Amino acid sequence: MIQDIGAGRYHNEYRQAVPKRDSCVLCYRKNELLVRIQDEGISFLTYGETVETAPEAAGVYTYLFSIDGRAYFLVPELSAEQFPGTEWMPVSGLRRNGPKEAAFAGVTGYQLWGWYSARRFCPACGKAMVPDERERMMKCPACGQTEYPKICPAVIVAVTHGDRLLLTKYAGRDFKKYALIAGFAEIGETIEETVQREVMEETGLRVKNLKYYKSQPWSFTDTLLFGFFAELDGDETIHLDEHELSLARWCTRDEIPENDGISLTREMMQVFKDGGPWPDR
């Protein structure tokens, strides 16, 4: 999955860090990030490059996180023309381009960039927000409003019925592959209640024996996913919510496509195809 970066260690402890020459610099604009694409995959600018070529950006580097001791900093939009060999790549391209560390860093930085961009001004009084020194939080010096990173909890549900799994396709989206039931938690409900509600809303089915599987940060959409397996409880007749789904059907293991992605959804489909729902671990 996208957060599985091999031996790489991701450290997101908040600290006041100063960029070094080999620190990575992440630069975004709407739905795109600045990268170099070579045979070995994507790579990012370094602070050594940007500090010489774009000295006007000095003082605006925001520390984000470190992977294997290398720090990643956010910088406001730079011009690709200033940096030979760089180009703007859609953030969605991180689903297909490695190496793994770079893809994970790129999308995690994207979520942080989106949050910082949307928290420049206080949502309560409109004054300029300032970063807190001790934790990742923006605060308003005028009214005291505090804003923490935006992380939306959501569920992925693999509904099983004997040797069949409920597969769906979204309605009205570019993503045309099979998926599982998915949806965001609402205020005031437990994550288990989210599972029950989303399955009922999208397919009219009841489920029982919920089993938590794994979670996944899905920074493309500011989401933290909680994956559950759940057994059908009662009638198997599907009543499709056509606003959300174009299709929902019970599929045998042979009908489930092989895992070709980096998402929790595809791993859970593969787990069931391989005889799950419980994996060897």
Tell me which residues touch Zn ion (CB under 5 A). 122, 124-125, 127, 140, 142-143, 145
> Closest approach of Cβ 115 to Zn ion, in Å?
17
Count of C-beta atoms within a 10 Å radius of residue 261: 16
> Closest approach of Cβ 139 to Zn ion, in Å?
9
- 129 or 157: CB nearest Zn ion: 129
- 90 or 126: CB nearest Zn ion: 126
Amino acid code (one letter) for 163: D
- 58 or 143: CB nearest Zn ion: 143
- 124 or 151: CB nearest Zn ion: 124
Q: Which of 267, 168, 153, 274 is nearest to 213 (CA)?
A: 267
- 141 or 275: CB nearest Zn ion: 141
Q: Which of 54, 6, 32 is nearest to 109 (CA)?
A: 32
| Contact by Cβ (8 Å): 71, 24 | yes
> Closest approach of Cβ 119 to Zn ion, in Å?
11
List, in sequence order, every residue forming a beta bridge with 7; answer none if it has no partner.
none
Q: Which of 21, 72, 69, 29 is nearest to 49 (CA)?
A: 21
In Å, how far from its chain's centre is CA 94? 11
Tokens encoding 267: 């791993």
Residue 36, classed as helix, strand or coil, is: strand
Query: Residue 269: CB partners within 8 Å, gap ≥ 6?
Result: 158, 165, 167, 178, 180, 256, 257, 259
- 18 or 124: CB nearest Zn ion: 124
